[in-house]
Each structure stands twice: as C-alpha cells, then as structure tokens.
Amino acid sequence: MPENSTTRSPAGSGAIPGLRWGILGTGYIAGLQTSDLVEHGFTVQAVGSRQCATAREFAARFRLPASHGSYEALVNDPEVDVVYIASPHPFHYENTLLALNAGKHALVEKPFAMNARQARDMADLAKSKGLVVLEAMWARYLPHMVRIRELIRAGDLGEVRTVIADHNQNLPKDPEHRLNDPALGGGALLDLGIYPVSFAFDVFGAPVRTQAAASKTATGVDRQTAVIFEYAGGQQAVLHCALDTAGPNRAAVLGTGGRIEIDPVWYTPTAFTRYDDAGSVVERFDQPVTGRGMQYQAWEVERLVAAGAIANDVLPPQGSVQVMEAMDAVRGQIGLGYASDARP
C-alpha cells in the first residue's frame, strides 16, 4: 500500500494561481468535472469540441472565456496549461497524445486507455516530455479512500486478506448506445469494472493470477463480468460488474484484525464503518464533500505541476499501465476484443 502523502484535503488548499485548464469534450462527465473545477476556484480557460456550436454552448453554461471548434485548437491554445480529456475511452489515446505533443499536462478520464499498449505509449510520451499525465480515477483521492489507505498502512486491520467490490448499474439497452457498441469500447468491464479493478490494485497491487468469466450482450460486449485476482501472499480480490442489473455498489476490505465496510456508492464520496475482529464498531468515517468530489484529482494535478513532479504514489502512470494489463488479461479470458487491440 503506497503512502498517501500526495493527496490534499480541501482545507487550506486550492487551485494554483495562473494554471489554466482546458476541457476536451462536452459530454456528461465533462460537465461534472467542469462544475467541480469552477465551484472550487480553478481557472477553467477554454473548452474544445468537434462542433463550434457545442463548444460555445458549453462555454456559455460555465462562463468560460474561450471555446474551440476542434480538439487541435484547444490543445494549441497558448492560454491553456492542462487538458482534461473527457472524450469516450476509445479516443483517450489519440486525444492524450494530442495534448502531450502540444506541451500540455493531461488529466485523462478512466479507463486510462483501451489497452496496456496504448497506456504505455501515453506514459512514455509524458515522461519524455516532462509532463503530468494522470488517470482520472477520482475515487482514489476521495477522503474516505485516503483514510482507508491510512488504516491499512498502520496495520489497524491486521493482515489484509480480501477485497470485495461490485459496480452494477441498469443502463440503456439500446444496441446503438456506446455502452453496447464494440466499436465504441462498449461493455461492463471498461466502463464500470475499472472501478473495482483499480480498487483492488490500490490495496494489493498487481495480481499474480487472474480468473474471469462473463456473459455477453447480443452486440458482443460483456454485460456482466466476474473477476478473481490472486496474489503472492494468498490474498484475493473478488470483483463484479454489470451494465443491465442494478446492484448494491458496496465494497469491503477484510483483514485478520478487522474489516472495513464502505457504504454505497463506495467509489463516490461516502462513509465507511470499521469493525474489529469481534465485530464491534471502532470507527465511523463520514467526511462531508462539496460538489461531486472530482476536485480532489484536479488538486492533485496542480500539486504535481507546482512541485515539478510528473508522478505520485497514489496512481502513477505506470500504475495505470498495470491496471490496463490486468484489464487486458480479463478480456483475454472472456473473449472480449476491440479494434484498437490490433493496431500497431
């Protein structure tokens, strides 16, 4: 478990004066991130879309100074220092390379890429240019996750043996919806499963063995996937995701000296209860969070830039590569392939 010395809380922290954000994409997730940026005092300078009208509408909605009718124009805007990549995940690779090659730092929506090959290219390019590229796995920076890492590191759960996490939602059934379209990286694993998979990595790191099973939709993507990660010390992570059935969306960490049960929805700002090995409550953690909570990952980008660093201990680019390697292994077992896998 890496030390979480790099994550700041809102108290006494804030945006870096002069660091200017550009938003690449105007969809739902872009709106959520931009709302948290604006609410918490970040400088959001511009937005870029493939359509001028869409960019103008988004800029007007959030009162941004500039809008661009192409991603190229956004990343080449001299008034933009860091780009939030909010395009659908099949386009993260090309859009991230576009931003990095323009000399911009990048916060990239999860999943980081479509596969490990793409993730390595992204990490390598950022390193060669001395730029920050951070996967927007916002859950890792939320207060309850910070506290969980502290407890595990301190040994308050004894020897941690098991992680259990699910992410199940009842999402659109339209076969042309991006979630059901193989050409758009559809399926439960990449869109939903990335959360429990990344959580398992946060606690245990990379597994030594992976077992996976899935059921497919009529369009050929996974509608539900179950995964077991096994580790050299005998630990296990038991993970599940589904896109057509609503679930409890809970998570737990089990140790020889106690356990943590995270309230729904475990990967959003929420609370948890810690029990000792006799089942008695020893801690109830419930720290209020303003907005949706996506400001924490943006604070981390700005902290890295201010420190002249390009990686942290919470989720360095190589960590995102390892997560994608595990996702590739799962897809190999369940027979889920994408066009991007065949590209050189």
Strand 82-85 versus strand 105-109 pairing type? parallel
The catalytic residue among 104, 110, 173, 216 is: 110
By the 8 A CB rule, do 167 and 195 touch?
yes
Q: Percent helix, strand, coil in the chain (nearest 5)?
A: 40, 25, 40
Q: Reply yes or no on whether 173 is catalytic.
A: no
Helix residue spans in 155-273 (DSSP H) = 188, 194-204
Query: Which one, of 133, 93, 105, lies nearest residue 316 by Cα?
Result: 133
Strand 160-168 versus strand 209-216 pairing type? unpaired
Q: Could you tell me if residue 183 is left (phi over 0), alpha (psi between -120 and 50 degrees) or otherwise beta?
A: alpha
Q: How many residues does the chain have?
A: 344
Q: Which residues does 218 contact at the CB level (< 8 Å), separation at least 6?
A: 175
Q: Which residues are catalytic?
A: 110
